[in-house]
């Protein structure tokens, strides 16, 4: 065997208590990482090494499948929550607009009341209605966020 065949691939260690030590590659397997000829495949030892390697890799795949499933589950959950976060923004815009317009109408009601009493009353009632509608939008927003959590 050459020095190249006897070297062991080293992987950097993780910096945590739960980090596994790097997988050590056997020196006997290092030369098996190449294309094998028909004659080499007829040797029983080579076939055993390849079967062992297949079993090891299948076990690793089994270990990683739950992480893949958790990733996709979490990714889907993040996308759903990001989409839900957009809806309250529109409700906040509507609520703010209703509060601003309602406040303007109530404030302008005094001016209109001096000009014509009935117009002033209508303007004040419309402003109060917008205020009440803004409170209703806020209540709907709170209800909506609670139903999303369930």
How far is it, in rounded angstroms, from Cα 140 to Cα 132? Answer: 12
Q: What pLDDT does 3 receive?
A: 43
Residue 84 belongs to a domain:
yes
For 44-92, how does the pLDDT look when each residue is reduced to its tens digit (9 = 90+)? 888 888 888 888 988 888 888 888 889 889 999 998 888 777 767 778 8
Count of structural domains, the chain: 1
Instruction: State both tokens at 55.
Output: 């079993």
Would you say the C-alpha torsion 133, 134, 135, 136 has a positive or negative sign? positive
Show the domain range for 41. 36-143
Residue 90 belongs to a domain:
yes
Q: Which residue has the tokens 């001096």?
A: 114
Residue 17 belongs to a domain:
no
Q: What pLDDT does 42 receive?
A: 79
Residue 18 belongs to a domain:
no
pTM for this structure? 0.42
């Amino acid at each position: 065997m050459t020095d190249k065949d006897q070297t062991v691939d080293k992987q950097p260690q993780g910096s945590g208590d739960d980090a596994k030590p790097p997988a050590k590659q056997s020196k006997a397997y290092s030369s098996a990482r190449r294309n094998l000829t028909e004659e080499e495949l007829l040797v029983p030892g080579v076939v055993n090494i390849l079967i062992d390697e297949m079993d090891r890799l299948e076990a690793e795949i089994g270990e990683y499948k739950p992480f893949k499933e958790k990733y996709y589950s979490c990714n889907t959950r993040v996308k759903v929550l990001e989409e839900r976060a957009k809806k309250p923004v529109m409700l906040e815009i509507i609520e703010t607009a209703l509060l601003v317009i309602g406040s303007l109408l109530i404030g302008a009601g005094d001016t209109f009341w001096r000009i014509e009493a009935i117009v002033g009353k209508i303007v004040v009632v419309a402003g109060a209605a917008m205020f009440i509608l803004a409170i209703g939008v806020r209540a709907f927003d709170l209800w909506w966020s609670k139903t999303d959590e369930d």
